[in-house]
Amino acid sequence: MSQGIQQSDAIQKSAFDLTQEQIQSLIATSTGFIDTYMIPVYDAAAILLPQNLVLSAMNVPARSETVEWHEKLLPTYIVHHPDLVEVTALVIDGDREETCFAILCDSMPKTLRLRISEVLDVDKPIPATVYQYVEVNGQQYQVPNLSYIQQQLFSN
């Protein structure tokens, strides 16, 4: 592969890699707090997501393939219960405005202020959509692999 192509790929991935690095840093730090959303996921561990990655929240029809935000159609990553008619779309910051996407969840997620020292890594097999499993106060959560999710949504 040529160096130009490698650099182009690195530039395209760098913004979400940075975001993923920030998440890892926040989870791995031993002091301080992090303000997160706890997003229930149908049939899986709930997602922990730093609040500063969520740009907006709105009510939308369930199972929507896209949601409109600032006159743009954003692809969706669906984690809500399949029986719901209306859900909450959380607009997730992308590396560029045209790569933002929405997570469709049951309702507006609960906010949690976590002491970083209470967040423990969990060693178990990790699917591609999960960056890391963690445990807080005996409850398991997933930290999403946002770069993988974004890549999948924008490759369709």
Distances (CA, A) of 111 to 19, 38, 64: 20, 6, 24
Q: How far apart are CA 68 and CA 50, in angstroms?
A: 23
SS3 33: strand
Whole-angstrom distance, CA of residue 69 vs CA of residue 74: 7
Q: What phi and psi values does residue 120 have, to the nearest 5 degrees? A: -110, 135
* Beta carbons of 134 and 123 less than 8 angstroms apart: no
Q: What percent of the chain has pLDDT over 90?
A: 70
pLDDT of residue 97: 73
pLDDT score of 33: 87
Tell me the mean pLDDT in the region 16-42.
72
Q: How many CB atoms lie within 10 A of CB 8?
A: 11
CA separation for the pair 124, 119 (Å, rounded): 15
pLDDT per residue over 98-149, tens digit each?
789 999 999 999 999 998 888 999 999 999 999 999 999 999 999 999 999 9
Q: Which letter does DSSP use for residue 116 in this model? A: G
Cut 0.75: pTM above it: yes
Domains and CATH numbers, the chain: 33-119 (2.40.50.180)
Q: If you average pLDDT over every residue of the chain, what do you get?
A: 85
